[in-house]
């Protein structure tokens, strides 16, 4: 039902704004930014994509010191922008006609805008909002942005499917004259979050050994990216034998079933890990990663958060979204990638099994960065 409502809503937005654009089409107007400019960026996607977009704010701020940078973000992702020192103003996006017009009023009052950049997001509302604000200075990527005909400027990327996400979004920044020599994802952990984390961990009798985090999985929508729980049990035993580490198994509340499965592997022996599944906020999870020596994760928001806080990551990547698109980007030797091979005659994600990545392979990669 929710999917049907979403499709009907998108159809309504497209029909109405196509008529508006026919009467008043976007006109290409030169964008010239400087220290006094005001730029609005729409970054309305998941954790990983929102963190990928964080590089654009760094590029704009470094290129035009003093520029005012505002962001429209899903309310559930606002924390990621609150921990980005390059963002000056944050507006919360959520669906519904009333919320749409309230946000339009807020954005119009905060303008005018010298440039409006569409970074990530599949919802139709951001394109419609930017059209109402000023379509002539709106920048989009046709390959990614639905309803691109509402935008005056298009950053054409014919190699989109073979390009890393950071490079994709940086091309939008370069279109308006901005760039950075440090294209690292941005997230700054603050002291209150560190303190809140340590207070929670104090109840777990955590020792002083280096911390190692295992992200148990991602959302159910793309569960094909998950590593089998059996493999986590195998590598946990290897870690217990070979490494001196305080191991944390991390995940959201939607990983409760996988956690119970993992616990079953250690029903008759002491658990070689601390269970923090569903017990930490996103900010506290970031603080845990920041305090850790390494992270093992599949392609999840937590993997990207690990990149952003600069912990070492062993990234287990499904072939449907290969590492050259979603893996570490220009981070030197801090990270390792285990790429699931793409089988012959591959058509859907179900045609490749993450269980084909062995615990031995992942452990060897972990040893490389642990030492």
- Give residue 162's Cα distance to chain centre: 18
Q: Flag whether 348 is in a domain.
A: yes
Structure tokens at 213: 């985090």
Q: Do 167 and 196 belong together in one domain?
A: no
Domain boundary among 175, 206, 234: 175
Q: Identify whether 162 is part of a domain.
A: yes
| 203 and 323 inside one domain | yes
Least confident stretch, 50-59, 64-73, 142-151? 142-151
Residues 156 and 68 reside in one and the same domain? yes
Tell me the CATH number at 224.
Answer: 3.40.50.2000
Q: Is the pLDDT of residue 1 over 60?
A: no
Asked whether residue 216 is assigned to any structural domain, the reply reads yes
| pLDDT(294) > 90 | yes
Q: What is the pLDDT of residues 100-128, one digit of tens each?
A: 999 999 999 999 999 999 999 888 999 99
Mean pLDDT of the chain: 94
Q: For residue 371, what pLDDT is reported? A: 83
pLDDT of residue 145: 62
Task: Judge if the upstream peptide bond of residue 112 is cis by omega within 30 degrees of 0.
Answer: yes
* 178-189 tens-digit pLDDT: 999 999 999 999
* Residue 143, pLDDT score: 64
Q: Which of 147, 175, 203 is the last residue in one of the domains?
A: 175
Tell me, yes or no, whether 202 and 284 share the same domain.
Answer: yes
Going from the C-alpha of 260 to that of each of 217, 285, 344, 345, the distances in angstroms are 13, 20, 34, 35
pLDDT value of position 8: 60
| Average pLDDT over every residue of 349-355 | 95
Whole-model pTM?
A: 0.94
Is pLDDT above 50 for 2? no
What was the pLDDT predicted at 219? 74
- Clarify whether residues 161 and 195 are in a common domain: no
Within this chain, do residues 171 and 241 fall inside the same structural domain, yes or no? no
The burial of 30, by beta-carbon neighbours within 10 Å (0-12 exposed, 13-18 middle, 19 or more buried), is given as exposed
Q: Are residues 260 and 169 in the same domain?
A: no
Range of the domain at 361: 191-370
Lowest pLDDT segment from 3-12, 217-226, 352-361? 3-12
Same domain, 38 and 142: yes
The mean per-residue pLDDT over the stretch 1-25 comes to 79
Residue 22 included in any domain: yes
- Is the pLDDT reported for residue 321 higher than 50? yes
Task: Pick the last residue of a domain from 131, 147, 175.
Answer: 175
The token pair that represents 307 in the structure block: 């990149």
* pLDDT at site 83: 98
Total count of domains within the chain: 2
Pair (171, 196) in one structural domain: no
Considering the domain architecture, whether residues 79 and 228 belong to the same structural domain is answered as no
Whether residue 232 is found in the same domain as residue 303: yes
Establish if 11 belongs to a structural domain.
Answer: no
Query: Would the pLDDT of 211 be above 70?
Result: yes
Q: How confident is the model at residue 55 (pLDDT cuts 50, 70, 90)?
A: very high
- 3 domain residue, yes or no: no
Does 97 map to a domain? Answer: yes
CA 240 to mean position of chain CA atoms: 31
Would you place residue 3 in the very low, low, confident or very high pLDDT band (cuts 50, 70, 90)? low
The first and second tokens of residue 308, run together, are 């952003």
CA distance 308 to 285: 12
Q: Are residues 299 and 340 in the same domain?
A: yes
Instruction: Say what the pLDDT of residue 148 is.
Output: 86
Written as six digits, the tokens of 25 are 């089409």
pLDDT for residue 257 is more than 70 = yes
Binned at pLDDT 50, 70 and 90, residue 337 comes out as very high
By mean pLDDT, which of 142-156, 184-198, 283-297, 305-319 is the weakest?
Answer: 142-156
Cβ contact 153:175 at 8 Å? yes
Residue 183 is assigned to a structural domain of this protein: no
């Amino acid at each position: 039902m929710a999917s049907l409502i979403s499709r009907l809503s998108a159809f309504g937005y497209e029909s109405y704004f196509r008529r508006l654009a026919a009467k008043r089409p976007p006109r290409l107007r030169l964008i010239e930014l400087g220290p006094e400019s005001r730029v609005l960026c729409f970054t309305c996607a998941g954790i990983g994509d929102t963190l990928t977009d964080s590089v654009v704010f760094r590029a704009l701020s470094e290129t035009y010191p003093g520029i005012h940078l505002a962001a429209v973000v899903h309310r559930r992702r606002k924390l990621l922008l609150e921990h980005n020192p390059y963002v000056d103003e944050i507006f919360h996006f959520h669906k519904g006609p009333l919320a749409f017009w309230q946000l339009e009023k807020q954005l119009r009052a905060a303008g005018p805008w010298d440039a409006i950049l569409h970074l990530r997001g599949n919802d139709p509302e951001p394109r419609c909002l930017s059209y109402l604000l000023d379509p002539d200075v709106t920048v989009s990527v046709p390959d990614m942005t639905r309803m691109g005909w509402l935008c005056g400027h298009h950053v054409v990327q014919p190699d989109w499917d073979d390009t890393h996400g950071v490079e994709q979004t940086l091309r939008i920044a370069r279109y308006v004259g901005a760039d950075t020599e440090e294209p690292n994802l941005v997230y700054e952990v603050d002291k209150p979050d560190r303190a809140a984390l340590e207070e929670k961990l104090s109840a777990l009798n955590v020792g002083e050994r280096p911390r190692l985090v295992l992200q148990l999985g991602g959302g159910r929508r793309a569960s094909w990216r998950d590593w089998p729980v059996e493999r986590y049990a195998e590598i946990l035993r290897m870690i217990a034998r070979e490494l001196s580490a305080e191991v944390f198994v991390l995940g959201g509340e939607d990983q409760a079933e996988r956690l119970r499965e993992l616990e079953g592997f250690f029903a008759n022996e002491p658990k070689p890990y601390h269970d923090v599944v569903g017990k930490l906020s996103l900010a506290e999870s970031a603080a845990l990663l920041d305090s850790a020596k390494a992270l093992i994760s599949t392609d999840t928001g937590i993997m990207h958060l690990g990149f952003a806080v600069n912990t070492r990551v062993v990234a287990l990547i499904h072939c449907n979204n290969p590492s050259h698109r979603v893996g570490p980007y220009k981070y030197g030797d801090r990270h390792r990638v285990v790429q699931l091979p793409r089988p012959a005659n591959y058509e859907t994600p179900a045609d490749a099994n993450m269980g084909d990545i062995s615990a031995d392979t992942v452990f060897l990669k972990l040893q490389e960065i642990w030492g």
